[in-house]
Amino acid sequence: MGFPYDEASWSVVDGAMFMGWGSAVPGLYTFIACMICVAVLVYGQRSEAKKTKAFTK
């Protein structure tokens, strides 16, 4: 986390400049974001199905 260059100065920045660049952290964030999307869809499907069941009796 934090500034991804050894020296805390913008003059050394010559490429990626987001926090975590150069570590495994961005990959972890990407994985978590994917999992959030999947979890929301699974949870959403279950709760919507439950609601619609009440109208199919």
Partner 1 sequence: MEEQLAELMAQVTALKESSGVTNTMFAETFYYLTIPLMIIIHAGFLAYEMGSSRLKNVLSSGVKNILAFAFMIPTFYFFGWWVYWGFPTGLPGAPGPAGISGVEYANSIAWGWGESAQYMGPNIADQASGVFFGAFALFAATTASIMSGAVIERIQTVGFVILAIVLGSFAWVVAAAWGWHADGWLVTQWGVHDFGAAGLVHAVAGFFALGVLINLGPRIGKFNLDGTANHIAGHNMPLTVTGLMLIIVGFWGFLMACVIIPGEAWSWFADKPSTIYGTPITLSALSFNILMAVAGGIIGAWVLTRDPFWMMSGALAGIISTASGLDIYFPALAFMIAFSAGIILKPCADWLEKRGIDDAVGAVTVHGTIGLYGVIMLGVFASGYPALQGAAGEVATISLIGQIVGAVVFFLCGFVPGYGVSWILKKVGMLRVPHGAEIAGMDLVKVPGHGYPEGIPAPAVNLAPGE
Residue 7 sits in the site that holds partner 1 (CB under 8 A): yes
Q: Do residues 26 and 20 make contact, with C-beta atoms less than 8 angstroms apart?
A: yes
CA distances from 30 to 4, 24, 37, 43 (A): 18, 10, 11, 20
By CB under 8 A, residue 45 contacts partner 1: no
* Cα gap 20→38, rounded to integer Å: 24
Is 42 near partner 1 (CB under 8 A)?
no
Minimum distance, C-beta of residue 56 to partner 1, in the bound complex (Å):
19
Binding residues (CB under 8 A) for partner 1: these are 1-3, 7-11, 13, 17-21, 25-26, 29-30, 32-33, 36-37, 40, 43-44
